[in-house]
């Protein structure tokens, strides 16, 4: 029993600080504000039917598992975005996500926890107005939004059906700041914050 707990502890630690050990090649999911691959086409999760580590944004996707599935992964670091004029750095910390699915005959029971919005992005630029008024504009977005789901799915020959009870938790803060070089103008700052503590549900259908 101690050996099993030790192995599970090591696997969990590695999954947080390195590429996921539960995927064939690198991270099983990438988060660039939205997982386009799995959540594309209206969050239907169609592409997940062909992935080993499925995202349960559509709960009926759990029927693609024929054995007990547990997957997790995390990312640490930063993302850099570059255009012709500026470079931007985004906080790449994404907390570990968990997906569990248990098959019992044609029934699937599962649990999912994942980040659906994560980032700390700041952009800054100097703007000239009427060739004499200069100000610095700073935009900041801080977002951490998580979704926890308990799901059930049924597999049959016609179509796979699924339903989940979801809980959303987190916040999203956006701020703008103007800093004028001329003391004759008043600096300005605006901040808007949304807090999420909401219950929802998801129903889905799929066919492989």
- At 36 the pLDDT is 43
pLDDT tens, residue by residue, 98-134: 888 999 999 999 998 887 777 777 777 777 777 677 8
Residue 18 has pLDDT above 50, yes or no: no
| Closest by Cα among 76, 19, 4, 79 to 53 | 19
- At 155 the pLDDT is 92
Residue 67 has pLDDT above 80, yes or no: yes
Say if CB 204 and CB 61 are below 8 A apart. yes
pLDDT tens, residue by residue, 165-189: 999 999 888 888 888 777 777 778 8
Phi, psi angle pair for 55, to nearest 5°: -95, 130
Mean pLDDT calculated for residue range 69-85: 72
- At 33 the pLDDT is 41
- At 201 the pLDDT is 92
Give dist(CA 119, CA 142) in Å, integer: 6
Percentage of residues of the chain with pLDDT beyond 90: 18
Residue 71: which H helix or E strand, with range?
strand 69-75
Phi, psi angle pair for 15, to nearest 5°: -65, -25
């Amino acid at each position: 029993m101690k050996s099993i707990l030790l192995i599970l502890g090591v696997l969990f630690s590695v999954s947080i600080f390195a590429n996921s050990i539960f995927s064939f090649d690198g991270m099983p999911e990438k988060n660039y504000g939205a997982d386009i691959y799995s959540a594309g086409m209206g969050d239907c999760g169609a592409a997940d039917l062909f992935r080993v580590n499925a995202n349960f944004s559509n709960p009926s996707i759990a029927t693609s598992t024929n054995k007990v599935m547990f997957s997790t992964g995390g990312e640490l670091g930063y993302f850099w975005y570059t255009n012709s004029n500026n470079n931007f750095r985004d906080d790449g910390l994404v907390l570990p996500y968990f997906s569990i699915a248990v098959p019992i005959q044609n029934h699937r029971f599962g649990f999912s926890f994942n980040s659906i919005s994560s980032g700390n992005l700041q952009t800054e630029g100097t703007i000239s107005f009427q060739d004499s008024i200069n100000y610095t504009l700073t935009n900041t977005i801080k977002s951490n939004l998580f979704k926890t789901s308990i799901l059930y799915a049924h597999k049959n020959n016609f179509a796979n059906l699924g339903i989940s009870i979801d809980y959303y938790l987190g916040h999203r803060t956006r701020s703008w700041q103007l800093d004028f070089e001329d003391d004759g103008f008043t600096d300005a700052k605006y901040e808007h914050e949304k807090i999420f503590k909401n219950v929802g549900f998801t129903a889905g259908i799929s066919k492989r």
